[in-house]
Amino acid sequence: MTAPARGLSPALRLPPPRLIPAKAAVFLDIDGTLLELAATPDQVEVHHEVKTLLPALSQRLNGALALITGRTLADADRLFPGMALPVAGLHGLVRRTPEGHVHSPPPLPDIGQLRGELATFVARHGGLLLEDKGSSLAVHYRKAPRLAPHVYRIVRKRVANAHASWRLQPGKAMVEIGPVGRDKGTAICEFMTERPFHGRTPVFVGDDRTDEHGFAAVASMGGWGVKVGRGPTHAAYRLRDVMAVRLWLASALAVA
């Protein structure tokens, strides 16, 4: 697991990022970065500009563009059909290489029991959603924010009783449970050993606490991160919102 570097940058003291270098390897989170957040993951909308922007940017970077997301690979492909981009899903737990090879660990033995316990818990509380991603589980409380402390308390207890190899990953209005040893930073590091990413300057753009490992990883390799939105971060730069991300990415295409 990639440990974030020490020292979070203050919330309002980061400049906007410079233009993407021609020899960059660009890694992009999806929800809250490329796409606006929605009440539930299946309600997000893909703006038409993103559908044209991603393949054009990938071509400009000679294929050195990958999605780094908490979603499954299948869900990423559903959002961006026909692109077949390299993707790290489930916060780095599974990864599809530029050649299309998928790397994923075997499921942990206690996931069935944990899934059942969390499903029972969620069913008792209106506004909660259990997202089953196969190798990981996420409890969303965006529709019931008052339940956040209770969600964390229950999930911690269930994980502690389940298996020593599980870890909790807090996010925006959700908490995810998955195996230890994998995160967005480890996935980016693996991509950087492969063509066409190898030898380029890594740039990672994300908005959530789950992205902090990625910011630390790119910094350790001489690259830089871009935090979307407010909040302390290990990233070197900041963009205000999803629209600002799109404009910034589009600016890379405008350079002759």
Catalogue all structural domains in the chain, each as residue range(s) with its CATH number.
24-101+182-254 (3.40.50.1000), 111-179 (3.30.70.1020)
Q: How confident is the model at residue 5 (pLDDT cuts 50, 70, 90)?
A: very low
Name the catalytic one among 29, 75, 207, 211. Answer: 29
DSSP code of residue 9: B
What is the rounded CA–CA span in Å between residue 235 and residue 117? 36
Q: How confident is the model at residue 6, as a pLDDT?
A: 43
**What value, to the nearest 5°, has the Cα angle with vertex 7 and ends 4 and 11?**
105
Q: How confident is the model at residue 40 (pLDDT cuts 50, 70, 90)?
A: confident
The token pair that represents 235 in the structure block: 């990233």
Mean pLDDT score across all residues of the chain: 89
Rank 2-16, 95-109, 176-190, 239-253 by mean pLDDT and report only the highest: 239-253
Starting at the edge strand that comes first in sequence, how are the strands of the sheet with 65-68 ordered? 102-103, 94-96, 87-89, 65-68, 24-28, 201-206, 224-228, 237-239
Residue 4 has pLDDT above 50, yes or no: no
- Residue 29 is a catalytic residue: yes
Q: How confident is the model at residue 3 (pLDDT cuts 50, 70, 90)?
A: very low
Q: Dump pLDDT digits (tens) for 195-243.
A: 999 999 999 999 988 899 999 999 999 999 999 999 999 999 999 999 9
Residue 111 has pLDDT above 60, yes or no: yes
Mean of pLDDT values over 149-166: 81
What is the rounded CA–CA span in Å between residue 249 and residue 57? 8
Closest CA to 150 of 127, 166, 167, 183: 127
pTM of the complete model: 0.82
Q: Dump pLDDT digits (tens) for 77-107.
A: 999 999 989 999 988 989 999 999 999 877 6
**More confident: 170 or 181:** 170
